[in-house]
């Protein structure tokens, strides 16, 4: 036998059964964001490497070690998108969507990062993201957070996620804080682990993210970001909190929440869960007022978030919040004899026309009555329609109930339509 080729590590197939859950999730996401007036944007999976280097930041995990970067046949350096925000801004700039306008956009699709695969962390994964442009005030920050809170409600997982919130202030305030933090870390450098030492100069705010308890203990006495916030950012944050309070969205201010990407300023937030073990962040976002200009557009304020769909689906499965999944077939059509087998798909077409949304599976591959009924049983269908030579001659079909103790009946095609209509209601 020929050797089988395997999927690339960290890149998963999604099989029937699970695809149904994904479809439901995607439908809920689409419907919910539409109820806020957001519109979909689609952009390529492959972009110039420079786009990510310039936006995400050279000294971030993504750019340092996670990108799938390669030279194409023309020698251009391309990268499989590791995230959507930079691409959305590139597309918005290029197509003139951002300057002097307001946009409320969403996207969904695969992202690629070369990470160590584990539960909730893959090399190809999927994000659903929202990006808004042109609005600087905290009302829009509150809106996107409210939207995420509604999504958890729709999915039935509100009690399993909690919101963490912080403000990074203006770029100037953050730079000031950075200096104060570095000065502090330098005084205690012997207590830092290797990771923190490396980050101390390249990306010191990330030291606050450290999972090492000793580093965390040291940070208790570190200067606080909140002590360095500029007045405008303070007022912006207070306004956001007031709006969340008014809407009844609970949150915890986490001063150590800084997010891994360079482009954030002011609001940053994460929705975290204890239900997934180590990969606890299901949704993360924030404000990035500088990015549009940084990528060559006119200065435009922006705020958005991205949600990891694998983590969301895992949560729904583990918490048994998947809900009712629709049957793949309502009706299975079996045919006895050559003539009936030719007519069966014709009748099935008519049924699909007459009964909106009806899922009709027609037997294929021949075989006797027993075999066909076995297939009908194995399918999801509630009823089998049996078409034999006698039925065909009289314009009738036999209805056999597959999941209920009910006598089978032979009825006209018109009657079967009514009967099936009731089935789909």
Q: Among 26, 115, 154, 354, indicate the residue that binds ligand ATP (CB under 6 A).
A: 115
Q: Are 56 and 86 in contact (CB under 8 A)?
A: yes
Nearer to ligand ATP among residue 52 and residue 122 (C-beta): 122
Q: In angstroms, give the least distance from the CB of 87 to ligand ATP.
A: 13
Q: Does 306 bind ligand ATP (CB under 6 A)?
A: yes
Bridging pattern class, strands 68-71 and 77-80: antiparallel
Please identify the residue of the shown chain whose CB is closest to the bound ligand ATP. 308
Q: Does 127 bind ligand ATP (CB under 6 A)?
A: yes
Nearer to ligand ATP among residue 145 and residue 336 (C-beta): 145
Q: Which stretch binds ligand ATP (CB under 6 A): 161-169, 244-252, 307-315, 401-409?
A: 307-315
The structure tokens listed for 360 are: 């009709």
Q: In angstroms, give the least distance from the CB of 251 to ligand ATP.
A: 16
CA angle 397/400/401 to nearest 5° reads 140
Q: Among 24, 53, 81, 113, indicate the residue that binds ligand ATP (CB under 6 A).
A: 113
Q: How far apart are CA 169 and CA 294, in angstroms?
A: 18
Phi, psi for residue 257 in degrees, rounded to 5: -75, 110
Q: In angstroms, give the least distance from the CB of 162 to ligand ATP.
A: 14
Q: Are 330 and 424 in contact (CB under 8 A)?
A: yes
Q: Does 396 bind ligand ATP (CB under 6 A)?
A: no
Q: Which stretch binds ligand ATP (CB under 6 A): 189-197, 306-314, 341-349, 411-419?
A: 306-314
Q: Among 55, 80, 83, 208, indicate the residue that binds ligand ATP (CB under 6 A).
A: 83
Q: In angstroms, give the least distance from the CB of 161 to ligand ATP.
A: 11
Q: Among 121, 198, 234, 359, indicate the residue that binds ligand ATP (CB under 6 A).
A: 121
Q: Which stretch binds ligand ATP (CB under 6 A): 38-46, 114-122, 290-298, 315-323?
A: 114-122
According to DSSP, residue 227 is labeled G
Q: b/e for 59-69, b at 16 or more Cβ within 10 A? A: ebbbbeebbee
In 3D space, the residue among 423, 375, 360, 316 whose CA is nearest the CA of residue 21 turns out to be 316
Q: Which stretch binds ligand ATP (CB under 6 A): 145-153, 172-180, 230-238, 276-284?
A: 276-284
Q: Among 131, 262, 289, 310, indicate the residue that binds ligand ATP (CB under 6 A).
A: 310
Nearer to ligand ATP among residue 122 and residue 133 (C-beta): 122
Q: How far apart are CA 288 and CA 300, in angstroms?
A: 9
The structure tokens listed for 267 are: 């609001």
Half-sphere CA count of 56, side-chain side, radius 13 A:
24
Number of shown-chain residues binding ligand ATP (CB under 6 A): 18
According to DSSP, residue 121 is labeled B
181: left (phi over 0), alpha (psi -120 to 50) or beta: alpha
- Cβ neighbours of 280 (radius 10 Å): 16
Residues that bind ligand ATP (CB under 6 A): 83, 113, 115, 120-122, 125, 127, 260, 279, 281-284, 306, 308, 310-311
């Amino acid at each position: 036998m020929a050797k089988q080729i395997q999927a690339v590590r960290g890149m998963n197939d999604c099989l029937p059964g699970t695809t149904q859950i994904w479809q439901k999730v995607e439908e809920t996401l689409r419907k919910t964001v539409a109820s806020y007036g957001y519109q979909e944007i689609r952009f390529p999976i492959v972009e110039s490497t420079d786009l990510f280097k310039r936006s995400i930041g050279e000294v971030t995990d993504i750019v340092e070690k996670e990108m799938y970067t390669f030279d194409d046949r023309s020698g251009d350096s391309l990268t499989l998108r590791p995230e959507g925000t930079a691409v959305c801004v590139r597309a918005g700039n290029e197509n003139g969507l951002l300057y002097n306008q307001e946009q409320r956009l969403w996207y969904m699709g695969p992202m690629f990062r070369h990470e160590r695969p584990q539960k909730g962390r893959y090399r190809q994964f999927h994000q659903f993201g929202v990006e808004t442009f042109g609005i600087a005030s905290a009302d829009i920050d509150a809106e996107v957070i409210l939207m995420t809170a509604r999504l958890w409600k729709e999915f039935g997982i509100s009690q399993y996620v909690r919101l963490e919130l912080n403000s990074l202030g203006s770029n100037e305030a953050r730079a000031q804080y950075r200096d104060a933090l570095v000065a502090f870390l330098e005084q205690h450098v012997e207590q830092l682990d290797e990771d923190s030492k490396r980050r101390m100069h390249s990306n010191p705010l990330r030291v606050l993210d450290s999972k090492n308890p000793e580093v965390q203990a040291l940070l208790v006495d570190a200067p606080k970001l909140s002590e360095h916030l500029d007045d405008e950012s303070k007022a912006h944050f207070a306004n956001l909190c007031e709006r969340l309070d008014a809407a009844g969205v609970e949150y915890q201010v986490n001063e150590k929440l800084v997010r891994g990407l360079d482009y954030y300023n002011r609001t940053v937030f994460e929705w975290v869960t204890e239900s997934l073990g180590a990969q606890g962040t299901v949704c993360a976002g924030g404000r990035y007022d500088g990015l549009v200009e940084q990528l060559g557009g006119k200065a435009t304020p922006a705020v958005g978030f991205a949600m990891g769909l694998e983590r969301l689906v895992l949560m729904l499965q583990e918490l048994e919040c998947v809900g009712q999944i629709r049957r793949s077939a309502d009706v299975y059509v079996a045919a006895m004899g050559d003539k009936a087998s030719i007519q069966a798909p014709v009748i099935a077409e008519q049924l699909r026309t007459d009964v909106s949304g009806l899922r009709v599976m027609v037997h294929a591959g021949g075989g006797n009555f027993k075999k066909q009924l076995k297939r009908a049983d194995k399918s999801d269908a509630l009823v089998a329609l049996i078409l034999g030579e006698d039925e065909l001659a009289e314009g009738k079909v036999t209805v056999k109930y597959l999941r209920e103790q009910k006598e089978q009946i032979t009825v006209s095609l018109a009657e079967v339509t009514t009967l099936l209509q009731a089935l789909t209601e």
